Structure 1
């Protein structure tokens, strides 16, 4: 039963399902688990929604909400790099206007809840509670609105609260999803917006944290379906778009350690115990082991195991699952920082290398270019030759089964254009069907079994229903860049000529206009250890 509310004027509701895709939705439709979403897909029109390269949350959602590729908006990954330093991206790294700011300039108010990479919130006509990459209890727009939400709806968390009991994590997912819906409906009652954007992150999170766990996946989608049903009941939107930033699926192939490949070709140097050496006393003070006294520290079974784990190359965030292989079976609390297991491992020496992978979710190789990087090793005169040769070498990589590792290895200009293309990796490596994966590890064989048994695929979904949409149109070639132009056209707002997509054929009309240059806020640091830990837990860092 929906929340009680006065009638609203919500013209368009956009429901964001992170990692939503047909291969996940169809079995849930058939099992009767998500009747509301099924009705939206079956009564309206729907089809695939092709993501970008890379098809990862932190870059794909900004591409969707600006309608522009990362070369224009400037976010290529969860991380932003300044020389050899890095930070988690936030909204100040997005250098193009979000669609709700464009609507605001044309007199349309919006409620935006949980969309990734929207912290810190900028001023516009409406309300925004940010999503992933924001800290817990983030500043929202307008200031103080989150406190009002919590008074009206109960505690609100950007991320599900950790629990030591795995069987309780499902309840944590459900509570988090429920609060998304409650907060959105409360804000719609308060603001009466024309545009609403409600995003659900747990439809992706559950596959990273509980891969293949059917009960958890069903529970997440059932709660999402309930919240969508109550939101439709409460806000009575004229039109509804369901969109996803990418798909999700099993990774049945191989994991390729690109940095080891580069090392063997003399392009990458390593060091042992560089930045990130753990401070053991600090770790104990952080209660990584219950009951340990940091003031009486001596090498414990955990410390010995961590060093051994590092020596044999266990460098993933899933430390707890790996500890049995090094003989440690005692409880270790909720998580162990990656720094611990990097203590005795080899690490990439970025300043001394010619090429390297900085972040696996960039899907790319960076060249340490002289004059661009602080300690560049490749002269600018050699850049194109080095890049071309490396592309050719990577194109020739075959998996242990003899299949091509990549479906494409391309210069960054193939996928990006715009003023911020210089922030992109120099070479993009697209795994074949995304059935293979790349990682940034060194000190292990070039190929191995994927540590992430489920991961992103390039094809998501879009569904459209409502009086303003032609539901007889078959959607075949939609991309995530088409979402923002479609929103603009629905509200009779001219589409920015710099947008890379086009209005979906479900709605007629639409004009274009050149807008004044966007004036984003100065870039600020995220520098939040809790955000970094959360992204590490999910396998992104």
Structure 2
């Protein structure tokens, strides 16, 4: 194997260092000692479904097209897939130069590309996803036993103890390493890419509880050691999509501010705010679903909300009667969304549509189906929006946002018009942002452990000059660096650069990437996203 890339979701040096001090990750610690290592600056937004594609393509979201967990078609939305990532991947570029790849558990790789080698998709793929080549997943299961993408339980399931949940986490981690080792032996690839997702999820689900973090990282480290021993790669790279840390400041509800400022209109009836869990039940039952339509109960909840009887008010009454939990158990999940206040997107001037996009979208004539902002007033309205958001301070009098910027500062390319119009970056990533309408601007943070901008990058092995500094390394630099290490020309559309630890190859033009047709998402995916805390 010419090069191995180990992806550790949410990996960062502060976590690595603490784990190393406690002797939890001997294999990872040895890699750090043998490597050139530095923080890896993530992109905006630093969230899984956009950041991993930016890493494996080397381009910003404006060139590959994925800005968050959902893509938008007007005011409707769909869950993103690999078909939404419209740029060449590391493995498709290597394939064009006769080099093979094995890719296991990398997010947003469903449906898989047809390459010389093998791909088992990861996060955002359905359970039992189509893999490449056909039949390879069944072959892997025959060889190693069980293989799954997602845990058997859902977040908040009290029927399992924490110990049982940790067993499930570690089993999933083991499956990744075992599958990769089998496929590496089967295909003898030039390039391998193995990703561990649970190193991120453990922080979200268990609020950074350190003993649980140690358990998951320990399992991942054991698999890393086995992969290194059996595959003996000539070069090893470790990279993460973002870092992780505690959010110390209160949650900020962006649409509450925008409503008071006259930009947002709300409604008490409709389909609800864009989230994953609107299609949760269909998806968990294994049905293929892409867009959600409310059923009879959800439509009734919307009608009741339109006359003031929201599900929140009903819930307060049920709590007083002591039957709220039982009622929630049997109520369709969409009731909560249709039966509460939500943004009226067609009638709003500007709004936050999804919190993980980190920004505000304007409703522009000629671009959006019911645009309100005339095209010739776009710049003036956006400038007013920027000033409004820049002026926000938290209860301590500190600015909520580190930066409020026009999208061109972060996104450029053929798909930049899909991005938010105004980028809003929380101050030191201490404020969790919410898109849910509210009467209050601030509330207790619902996700106290969440993403930080600095991840990690390590590199060692043949041709890697570990004496060189990689200070300032960026997420976009990973793909061109690995291509250069393997002697393959990088794509001239890449925004990243080969880091100075390798001899840079030339930049050349590649034919336009032909993405797979976007497929409907399997039942399990929507619910898993809610379980991971990415829905409100």
How many residue pairs end up in the alignment?
A: 502
Cα distance, 1:443 vs structure 2: 2.5
Structure 2 matches for 1:231-380, cutoff 5 A? 231-275=227-271, 310-311=312-313, 338-380=333-375
Give the structure 2 partner of residue 507 of structure 1: 502
Give the structure 2 partner of residue 13 of structure 1: 4
Is 2:223 the counterpart of 1:213? Answer: no
How far apart in 1 are the matches of 2:402 and 2:259? 22
Structure 2 matches for 1:8-407, cutoff 5 A? 10-162=1-153, 164-167=159-162, 168-275=164-271, 310-311=312-313, 338-407=333-402
TM-score normalized with structure 1 length: 0.88
How far apart in 2 are the matches of 1:390 and 1:152? 57
Contact 1:356 1:366 in 2 (8 A): yes
Using a 3 Å threshold, how does the CA distance of structure 1 residues 503 and 357 change in structure 2: closer, same or farther? same
Cα distance, 1:528 vs structure 2: 3.3
Question: SS where residue 342 of structure 1 aligns?
Answer: helix
How far apart in 2 are the matches of 1:472 and 1:452? 39
Contact 2:83 2:516 in 1 (8 A): yes
Contact 1:311 1:344 in 2 (8 A): no
How far apart in 2 are the matches of 1:313 and 1:69? 43
Structure 2 matches for 1:437-452, cutoff 5 A? 437-452=432-447
Range moving further from structure 2, 377-386 or 139-148 = 377-386
Is 2:466 the counterpart of 1:471? Answer: yes
Contact 1:67 1:500 in 2 (8 A): yes
TM-score normalized with structure 2 length: 0.89
For residues 314-344 of structure 1, give each alpha carbon's deviation from its aligned partner in whole angstroms, at most 9, with x where no partner exists: 9xxxxxxxx9899558578999865243353
Give the structure 1 partner of residue 533 of structure 2: 539
Contact 1:58 1:77 in 2 (8 A): yes
Contact 2:481 2:504 in 1 (8 A): no
For residues 469-522 of structure 1, give each alpha carbon's deviation from its aligned partner in whole angstroms, at most 9, with x where no partner exists: 112223211011111001111111111111111111111242221222222234
Structure 2 matches for 1:516-531, cutoff 5 A? 516-522=511-517, 524-531=518-525
Using a 3 Å threshold, how does the CA distance of structure 1 residues 276 and 359 change in structure 2: closer, same or farther? closer
* Runs of at least 5 residues in structure 1 that lack an aligned partner in the other structure: 1-9, 287-306, 315-322
How far apart in 1 are the matches of 2:70 and 2:44? 15
Cα distance, 1:98 vs structure 2: 0.4
Contact 2:253 2:438 in 1 (8 A): no
Contact 2:107 2:121 in 1 (8 A): yes
Question: SS where residue 428 of structure 1 aligns?
Answer: strand
Name the Cα RMSD after superposition: 2.5
Cα distance, 1:530 vs structure 2: 2.2
